Amino acid sequence: MDLRKLCDTHETLLTRMKEDGYSENYIKSVRFEINWIKRNLHLSQYSSYLELYEERIKTGRNAIPSLEKIYHKRSLFTLLQRFDENNEFPDRHKKVPIIKKSAYSKLNIYYKAIVDEYKEHATQNNSSKNTITKCVSKASCFFLFLQNQGHISLQTVTEGDVLSFFTDASGNLCKSRSYKRDIESVLAADNHVLEDTKRIRMFLPAIKNRRKNIQYFTRKEAECIRNTLENNTSDLSKRDIAIGMLLYFTGMRAGDISDLCFDDINWDSEIIHRSQNKTSSLVEIPLSVNVGNALYDYIMEERAENPDPHIFLWCKPPFHPIDVSVIWPVTAHIYNAANIRQNPGDRRGSHLFRHHVATHLASKGFSQPIISEILGHDAPESINNYLSSDIEHLRTCALSIEAFPIAEGVFQI
């Protein structure tokens, strides 16, 4: 671990923090930890900032530091790590834990080559960054498990070794179908050790797709949300209303809303045109009057004067663009204002709005390809999960039981 880079560039970090509105006390705390590192450069023997942080806690004045102090130190070392390793300047609104050393970094050259082959192949095929990151992470964990079992290559791996990764101590499957699929994607992209990867793919266990009970808006809930957004009978901010309108009328994903820019909206043609974060495919969504007015009100009356191209900003200085983590609290505010979904176990995220848009369009007679296009699905079958909660159309598929005799009291409680 080389700490000299941090020592040479830390003034740039501190200057940027001052420009972004961090308090003087917090900047002093960061400088204090940097000075401690500079005085202890022999700690370069450690392999990660996590180990460095743990050593720092031990050397504090208090034998047993308070929980508050531990969290504070942890946030400081997280900030330093992200700046030193990823050249990332801090964002005061992101609360990211210290990143442990990734599984990929612990792999030998052989396994890294397989992962690198997949990354190159996936990038050439325009796979999204999130998809690549997800597959690389899961495959790296799989390979690291095999490596720790003593297999320096796939040649010596047996079916039992593979199954032991996917099962717990009782022999029950403990990994999901999607986990297996992501590992399979990495193995399928490799051409250097083709025979070995083919063999390992055959060892992967068959995992059934788990069907979930899909929660959706009832007609009454949908009416409550719309009434709350349109009449603004609560203390919702204009930003929350604008985000809620986008969710309710367009079904856009949370990540696309948080990343929405001014250039994505053609006000004259009343069209939202953008490349989706998840699939990287282009999508065009009609901009309804309700949505357009809500966006206009937020931009003109509440949004801070900031040249940033993103539409939605934080409400406090330095007014950075929001990230996707903000959307969940916004939906929670909306549900609370509409007085719905207040019971334990009720789903309260943004994805319910996508379900609502899909089922609403289906109830109006729109065809599945059109609904898929509006929601921005690459695969037409993706719409099936949404339409499975279309109760009105599903009722037409139900068989009547009138012709069958039923004992008296069966349906009585």
Q: What is the pTM of this model?
A: 0.58
Q: Rounded CA gap, 256 and 49, in Å?
A: 32
The per-residue pLDDT for range 58-100, each reduced to its tens digit, is: 776 555 566 667 777 888 888 888 888 878 887 655 555 544 5
Q: Rounded CA gap, 226 and 220, in Å?
A: 10
Segments making up each domain of the chain, as ranges: 4-86, 104-203, 219-395
Looking at residue 99, its pLDDT comes to 44
Q: Rounded CA gap, 202 and 45, in Å?
A: 42
Tokens of 270: 């009343």
The per-residue pLDDT for range 245-299, each reduced to its tens digit, is: 999 999 899 999 999 999 999 999 999 998 887 777 788 888 999 999 999 999 9
Burial call 258-269: b when 16+ CB within 10 Å, e when fewer:
bbbeeebbeeee
Q: Rounded CA gap, 48 and 54, in Å?
A: 10
- Reference 33, options 67, 75, 62; nearest CA is 75
Looking at residue 81, its pLDDT comes to 86
Looking at residue 203, its pLDDT comes to 93
Distance between start and end Cα atoms, the chain: 68
Looking at residue 243, its pLDDT comes to 96
- Note the CATH number of domain 219-395: 1.10.443.10
Please identify every stretch of the chain with a pLDDT value under 70, giving residue numbers as ranges: 1, 43-44, 60-68, 91-101, 192-193, 210-214, 233, 366-368, 370-371, 373-374, 376-401, 409-413
Looking at residue 181, its pLDDT comes to 93
- Reference 135, options 126, 122, 153, 124; nearest CA is 122
Interaxial angle between packed helices 289-301 and 238-250, expressed in degrees from 0 to 180 and rounded to the nearest 10: 160
278, 252 Cβ separation under 8 angstroms: no
Q: From residue 37, how far is each of 4, 15, 58, 314 by CA, in Å?
A: 10, 19, 14, 33
Q: Rounded CA gap, 307 and 319, in Å?
A: 10
